[in-house]
Structure 1
């Protein structure tokens, strides 16, 4: 019990240090970028400009701004948004995070289901034309970036066929194209990874011995080969999540989805310091939590 608690405490400390370094680096880079959140207000009277800077602590020295923001963030207060003055950053994230998690979760689930299924199917038909065709399509899926896939999906299924809406949020059919755009590269990578890992596992000595004992190929696959073959897929879940999170910025912009990625892009363009910092912290905390969960999953799947 004590080693487990020690490992848990060590993970918490690592997570806290990681988030602090991430927030500090983001704070420095934002303030080093040219321009400011109220550059468009230069035509306003000096007293109005001074009042705006005082309201958002921009009149203080940079170290004081950092310490004040960090103290509020530790208490869970991410401050007011510069771009959306009627909302706090906490409120914006509370509204946007479920949207992004729904899109990202469905995209990752679709990638796992289709990717593992297609990878297993290709491995069982290794060397045949169907296997080569599938792996060729997977390579194409990896090569095409999301900022190309998303507009193409809109052009084909919304503009051309009129099957699905081109954007918006609130109905089930608004989810389909964004989820597909986020999932396609991950489906391709998961299929290739599953195929390669399963082929290696099926050639292992212990499976050769199991075949000699008369076990059927179906039982070999599902009872002995599939679980160890999916260990690389479990290890891939962390970078897959990062891929979904980074891709959401493009996809949410294209489809007009009010998620974390869209707020991040708009906040960066408008120098909304508190909003960008809040989104970075929220996404960083989510990635740290997923990494811990993935490590636990890998430990459960690894027979060693």
Structure 2
């Protein structure tokens, strides 16, 4: 119970510091949410500032915003006046969750078997080719991979749509692949390295000497400890998917929270950016907690080391 209370307090303080820092940086950035090439009449600017409390001192704005957040109200959007930030996030979050979840599942479903297979054939030509491909996948950023996928599968082959979102599987294929590629490559490399270390352990040599088959060694003795580094990597992998969704959703024109974040930052939509930051920050805190629990369940030494 004490450990749970300490971690909850740490999570709340982390989110508060993140939101406060983001609030200050947004207000310090040049420009404002209602700046335009043609300036509005002074009375219109004054009315807008009063409506969104931008005419108040910074500390007062912060106090009002924080009070609204504690009540579950993320405020109105400056650039989408017909919607609140809660409504925009409620509409975009499921789309981002679907794409991000499918991307991570794809990375694990392909990366884990490839990593194990490569470790069992370490040093052979197939292993070298696979690791070269994995290194290439890590080197190509998402903002390069996404247009290349569009060029190949949408423009040249015309198999899939180039962008947009209709809720069908065809519109999800390219974004999911673009999000999954770097995680898939890293998962394969990490699994290979972890399995090589485990397969060379003394207890596995002793098991081989007792006549156990390689298949039993792999599934009964090597796979579980070999996957511990992969489980630990799930936390940064999920965070990578969350952060990468901003680029991918912008390229493919998907109305997820990543695209809302980019548009909100460009348009100085303070409340929308702060709302997305809070939601993503809370998701990262929950992801870290879930991964820590999974690691402790797989490795009793981690449970015993916790206070």
TM, length-normalised to structure 1: 0.97
Distance 2:300 2:208 in 1: 20
Given candidates 30, 34, 47, the residue that maps to 2:30 is: 34
The match for 2:184 is: 187
The answer on whether the counterparts of 1:42 and 1:49 sit within 8 Å (CA) in structure 2 is no
Given candidates 27, 43, 49, the residue that maps to 1:53 is: 49
The answer on whether the counterparts of 1:238 and 1:294 sit within 8 Å (CA) in structure 2 is yes
Cα deviation, residue 242, structure 1: 1.4
SS in 1 for 2:36: helix
Given candidates 14, 17, 22, the residue that maps to 1:18 is: 14
The match for 2:304 is: none
Given candidates 99, 105, 113, the residue that maps to 2:95 is: 99
Cα deviation, residue 137, structure 1: 0.4
Cα deviation, residue 10, structure 1: 1.0
The correspondence of residues 212-291 of structure 1 with structure 2, limited to 5 A, is 212-291=209-288
SS in 2 for 1:230: helix
Number of paired residues? 300
Q: Name whichever of 288-297 and 207-216 sits farther off.
A: 207-216
Cα deviation, residue 41, structure 1: 7.9
Cα deviation, residue 214, structure 1: 1.4
SS in 1 for 2:10: helix
Distance 2:273 2:251 in 1: 19
1:125 paired with 2:121, answer yes
Distance 2:37 2:48 in 1: 9
Q: Name whichever of 33-42 and 233-242 sits farther off.
A: 33-42
1:114 paired with 2:110, answer yes
Unaligned runs of 5+ in 1: none
Distance 1:203 1:45 in 2: 75
The match for 2:203 is: 206
The match for 1:154 is: 150
The match for 1:176 is: 173
Distance 2:90 2:31 in 1: 28
Distance 2:197 2:37 in 1: 63
Distance 1:84 1:49 in 2: 17
The match for 1:299 is: 296
Unaligned runs of 5+ in 2: 302-307
Distance 2:287 2:110 in 1: 21
Cα deviation, residue 44, structure 1: 2.3
Q: Cα RMSD over matched residues? A: 0.9
Cα deviation, residue 238, structure 1: 1.0
Distance 1:260 1:149 in 2: 21
Runs of 4+, deviation exceeding 4 Å: none
TM, length-normalised to structure 2: 0.96
Structure 1, residues 113-140: CA drift from partner, whole Å, max 9, x if none? Answer: 1111100010010010000000000000
